[in-house]
Structure 1
Amino acid sequence: MDLYQIFITHNRVWTVREVIGFSILYTIALLTALYLLYNKKIKLSQAISGMILLLFLGIVFGSTVFTRMPMERKYNLELFWSWKAVFLNHSLELMKENLLNCILLFPMGLLLPVTFNRRLSWWKGLLAGVLVSGMIETFQLIFCRGLFEWDDIVHNSLGCMAGCIIMSMVLKRKK
């Protein structure tokens, strides 16, 4: 299954209310960014990366929580259960899912150092990943929109951390 198929299988089209709600939030963020740019509080690169980051997070939360169809409340509290299944059962599907979960927040990790206009240490990227992924998993549990699992938090956070490390290295070389 390719990424497009995964996306359209697990995501319904946004409702008008969801589009309007996100548009209002995005407009407020854009006006705030323009105000900060005008008053020379942030650079243009920070404003652009911040707006891309907000758009990215909107898409991520939409696809992982808000556009999913409600189901029964599900959770798996065993840490690294998915890797046990990969190695013991030779499950290539779970291996692919684990790798896609690592990739999910990688772009966020790339955008964070640019948004904050400085290199960020690996632990800040990891912490940001834990916070965002923890919110996603908690919302999935509360709203019955997916499977709450610690493995997803670990994988998403590692992806965010990797993106943060890579962009911080790029920024270091640039200076």
Structure 2
Amino acid sequence: MDIYQTVISHYPHWSKIELIAVVIVMIISFIILERFYKKDKINKIQMFFCVLFIIYLLHVYGSTVFSRLPSKRICKLEVFWSWKEILNSMNMTYPKYELFLENILNVIMLLPLGIFLPLVYGKKIDWKVGLLIGFCISFSIELMQLVLCRGMFDVDDIIHNSLGFLIGIVIINKVLLMNKIS
């Protein structure tokens, strides 16, 4: 399956209500950002990365929660169940490469948000704070999937998403540190 087909199958068209909600969130965000900019609380670069952060966050919520069709309420509370399943399948004729890929993609999914956040604040962010923010975003996704019956509440997804957010924070903190030194 090529990337286009993957995107289309995992990201169907939004309903009118979802589009209206996204537009409202964006308008409110732009109004707040404009006021912060006029009061010199943020600069143009911070505003740019804040817009990227918001757009990407809306995309993540859209693709993981709102574009999915309601189904049963499913909950997977076992920690690292996916890795156990992957490792157990290595002896089989058909190992679970799809599950491995899904885990890697869950790490990558919040990585850009981790990169954008220090750029929004214009300074390094402590890794513990970054991990907490990544956990909260990921937990909110999983909780909304559970409450709205739009996917499986999965502890492994929370771990993978939080790790990706943290990796993004660490990467950009290193870049910001290197720029300060030189």
TM-score by length of 1: 0.96
CA deviations on 1:25-75 (whole Å, 9 max, x unpaired) are 111111111111111111111111111101101010011001100011111
Residue 93 of structure 2 corresponds to none
1:84-163 matches, cutoff 5 A: 84-90=84-90, 91-163=96-168
Percent identity reads: 40
Residue 4 of structure 1 and its aligned partner are, at CA, apart by 3.4
Can you give the 5+ residue segments of structure 2 that lack an aligned partner in the other structure?
91-95
Classify 1:68/1:157 alpha carbon distance in 2 versus 1 (closer, same or farther; 3 Å): same
Aligned to 1:17: 17
* Change over 3 Å in CA distance of 1:2–1:135 after alignment to 2: farther
Question: How far, CA to CA, are the matches of 1:164 and 1:115 in structure 2?
Answer: 12
* Aligned position for 1:79: 79
Bigger CA radius of gyration:
2
Instruction: Point out the more displaced range, 18-27 or 142-151.
Output: 18-27
Distance between the aligned counterparts of 2:178 and 2:67, measured in 1?
40
Q: Deviation of residue 99 (structure 1)? A: 0.1
Opposite residue 162 of structure 2, the aligned amino acid is S
**Cα distance in 2 for residues equivalent to 1:13 and 1:37:** 34
For structure 1, the residue ranges without an aligned partner over 5 or more in a row are none
Deviation readout 1:113-140 (Å, 9 max, x if unpaired): 0011110122122111100000000000
Cα offset, 1:14, TM superposition: 1.0
In structure 1, what is the Cα distance between the partners aligned to 2:42 and 2:177? Answer: 19
- TM-superposed CA distance for 1:2, in Å, is 4.3
Paired amino acid for 1:87: L
SS of the equivalent of 1:120 reads coil
Give the SS at the match of 2:75. strand
Q: CA deviation at 1:3?
A: 4.1
Instruction: Using structure 2 for the length normalisation, give the TM-score.
Output: 0.92
Q: What's the CA shift for 1:21?
A: 1.5
Q: Once the two structures are superposed, what CA deviation does each residue of 1:134-168 show, in whole Å capped at 9, x if it has no partner? A: 00000000000001110000000000000010011
- Comparing 45-54 with 101-110, greater Cα deviation is found at 45-54
* Partner Cα distance (1:94, 1:114) in 2: 32
Count of matched residue positions in the alignment of Structure 1 and Structure 2:
175
The DSSP-based 3-state class of the residue aligned with 2:153 is strand
Code of the aligned partner of 2:119 = V
